[in-house]
Each structure stands twice: as C-alpha cells, then as structure tokens.
Structure 1
Amino acid sequence: MEIRIDASSLEQLKKDADINQSQHVSLDPETVTAGMQSLLSNPEIYKAAKMLSAF
C-alpha cells in the first residue's frame, strides 16, 4: 500500500502540527481511553486500526 501526499497537503499537515504543539492538553488515562474508544467506535477507523495492527 502506497501513500502519496502532495505539497499543499504536506503544508497543511505542518500547520496542523504547529497548532497542535502550541496547545497544551492534559493526557490523563481517562481522557486517552475515552478518545480511543470514541475513535474505534467509527467502523472505518476500527477497520484501519485492525489492519495496521496486523503488521
């Protein structure tokens, strides 16, 4: 499986990363667990995570 990212997408990712780094979020276990459960409740994300964990 090959992933291609064009220049404008890469720029947007860099901007998003900069924004994320400037925000301080407390990552207590409850918040992380709730976030992961929320993500995994999405069937597409669950399928992708399961596929990636097979490697």
Structure 2
Amino acid sequence: MITNVGDNTVLILKPVNMITLRFKLYDKNGSGIKYMGRCLPAPLKDRDATVLRAGSP
C-alpha cells in the first residue's frame, strides 16, 4: 500500500510495460542518425491513474 505523507496531492500511475524503439533516420545524402527511445504501447487511460490526496492511504 502507498500512503501520501506529504502536504500535496499526487497522481499515481500503475506500472505499465514500455516498448524500446531503435532505428536509424537517413537524409537524402545518406547520412544517418541513430535513435533509441522508449514509448508506451498505447495511450494511458483514466483507469491507469489515481489521485492520492495528502494524508490518505
């Protein structure tokens, strides 16, 4: 269980799986730039988060 012991309201997100993307972008001259990043497989919904008010478990 998580308890908010602070004075502020916080937004808690449930754990989600992320996808790692790795690719290389090329311009018309053949020069490439490597990219690696993480993204979510789908947008988060309201059910994926909850508000935890100050002092509440």
TM-score (norm 1): 0.20
| Greater RCO structure (CA 8 Å; 6+ sep) | 2
TM-score (norm 2): 0.20
Query: Radius of gyration: which is bigger?
Result: 2
More strand by share: 2
More helix by share: 1
